[in-house]
Amino acid sequence: MSLDPVVPETCVLAIASHVVYGYVGNTMAALVMQTLGCDVAALNTVQYSNHTGYRQWKGTKASSKEMQDLYTGLKQSYLTNFDVLLTGYAPSAETVDAVGSIARDLKLKSSMKAGSFFWILDPVMGDQGKLYVSEDVVPVYRNLLRDADLILPNQFEAELLSETKITSLSSLKEAITQLHKTHRIPHIIVTSINLPDKPSTMSIIGSTARSDFSPRIFKIDVPAIDCFFSGTGDMFAALTVVRLREAVTHADLNNTKSWVSPNDVKAEDLPLAKAAEKVLGSMHTVLSKTKEARDKELEGMAGPLGVMEKEKDSEKRTWLRKTKAAEVKVVRCLGDLREPRLDWKAEAFDENEGGGAIEHVGGPKVERADGANGAGEREGLGMQHLAGTGKRLENGHGKKDSVDSTLPHRRA
């Protein structure tokens, strides 16, 4: 395996969460981008002991002032020559706003040179019909959209941002069209779509706008792995930075505003589509290997109860062990980041596929680790990782959080 960098020199400012243990947020994204040859400056929005899927953690959130201070510190020493800004989870409306100020400042600085700065915004707000940030974050994100080059919402976030209910592929198309037209967003990828006629598939749907802001939509299907992982959104975003930069360089669009292809380029041939194929190729291998390792690890928990499971708080201990076993094995799979499988291809979008319907919350019903299933049990959950998609299988509890009942949201 060659260790040469995958991308031309790329300096990235990554604004997201940090965890001491495990791989989510910047702890995931910085590793992925650095492995593939990017310089990464990590500005952390929270510092937690571990990700919130464990349902208990210690740590602190940065204030918007602390974030602004760190950015001012970079500026005063001329350390802001970033080619790409990648932004993920921020814990409040004020910190999301601070992210917007930083982005606008970087954008302004590079406005004389087309294509010299690109902002990828993952508008982390919720999933599966539930918010895990406060409601006042939503309009702040809507305000930021006009300055972003690529956004990576999931289906629920795309609904919130476009103010369009997504219940079918045609309403998904409408939402994407709306986001391009109203907010002038050049590129969009909606992650994790579940089509009811393809229960074992996860799809992503992407689009790069034409010059009149009409959409060019492509779709990629990948097999869903029957496990919930944390950090996959951040891994997806980080790989997208690298693979899009690579594809855009190949298409000679580096000096074009927002790296937008000419109007005659077909949806499935877009650099965004080519990049997404590689992103999904790497993700699938890494997640499959993680699932394999996790299953092996959990085999030890089957059969007669071990000492740990006999303890008073055995349910909690089991949960913690399962969550730990599903930490993405990214450091053991660096070769798969560098050399992705190319088995899943972008295809032209057909809005009539699957009868056109998309299940809004959940997707296919699956048997969960705790034996619970069905929408009724999701009610009143607040937001923790919900069952419904294959992805959510191991993480839905169907009960109020017994570990830290002050956590209605997936992320605090």
Strand 39-48 and strand 11-19: pairing? parallel
Q: Interior CA angle at 15 toward 12 and 21, to 5°?
A: 105
Is there binding between residue 17 and ligand ADP (CB under 6 A)?
Answer: no
Distance CA 308, CA 361 (A): 35
In the bound state with ligand ADP, the residue whose beta carbon lies nearer, of 22 and 233, is 233
For 116, residues 6+ apart whose C-beta sits below 8 A from its C-beta are: 83, 110, 255
Characterize the bridge pairing of strands 118-121 and 150-151: parallel
> Considering beta carbons, is residue 225 or 253 the nearer one to ligand PLP?
225
Helix or strand (DSSP H, E) at 210: none
Q: Which is nearer to ligand PLP, 30 or 248 (CB)?
A: 30
Could you identify the residue written with the tokens 């040469």? Answer: 4
Q: Which residues inside 355-394 make contact with ligand ADP, applying CB under 6 A?
A: 390-391
Instruction: Please say which residue, 48 or 117, places its beta carbon nearer to ligand PLP.
Output: 48
Q: Is 51 in the site for ligand PLP (CB under 6 A)?
A: yes
By the 8 A CB rule, do 152 and 121 touch?
yes
What are the tokens at 25? 């947020």
Question: Given candidates 40, 42, 86, 89, which one binds ligand PLP under the rule CB under 6 A?
Answer: 89
Min dist CB 234 to ligand PLP, Å, is: 4
Taking the alpha carbons at both ends of the chain, their separation in whole angstroms is: 40
Span 292-311, contacts to ligand ADP by CB under 6 A? none
| Residue 283 sits in the site that holds ligand ADP (CB under 6 A) | yes
Q: Which of ligand ADP, ligand PLP, none sits in contact with 280, Cβ below 5 to 8 A by type?
A: ligand ADP
Residue 230 within binding range of ligand PLP, rule CB under 6 A: yes
Contact 151, 121 (CB under 8 A): yes
Give CA separation, 276 vs 12, 347, 388, in Å.
19, 12, 24
220 three-state secondary structure: strand
Which tokens in the block code for residue 206? 């992407």
246 is an interface residue for ligand PLP by CB under 6 A: no
Task: Out of 157, 159, 234, 268, point to the residue binding ligand PLP (CB under 6 A).
Answer: 234
Residue 170 φ/ψ, nearest 5 degrees: -75, -35
Residue of the chain from 48, 218, 259, 344 that contacts ligand PLP (CB under 6 A): 48
x-or-dash string of contact with ligand PLP, 22-41, rule CB under 6 A: --xx----------------
Residues that bind ligand PLP (CB under 6 A): 17, 24-25, 46, 48, 51-53, 89, 230-234, 411
- Residues at the contact surface with ligand ADP, assessed by CB under 6 A: 127, 152, 154, 191-192, 202, 204, 222, 224-225, 227, 229, 232-233, 236, 280, 283, 287, 390-391
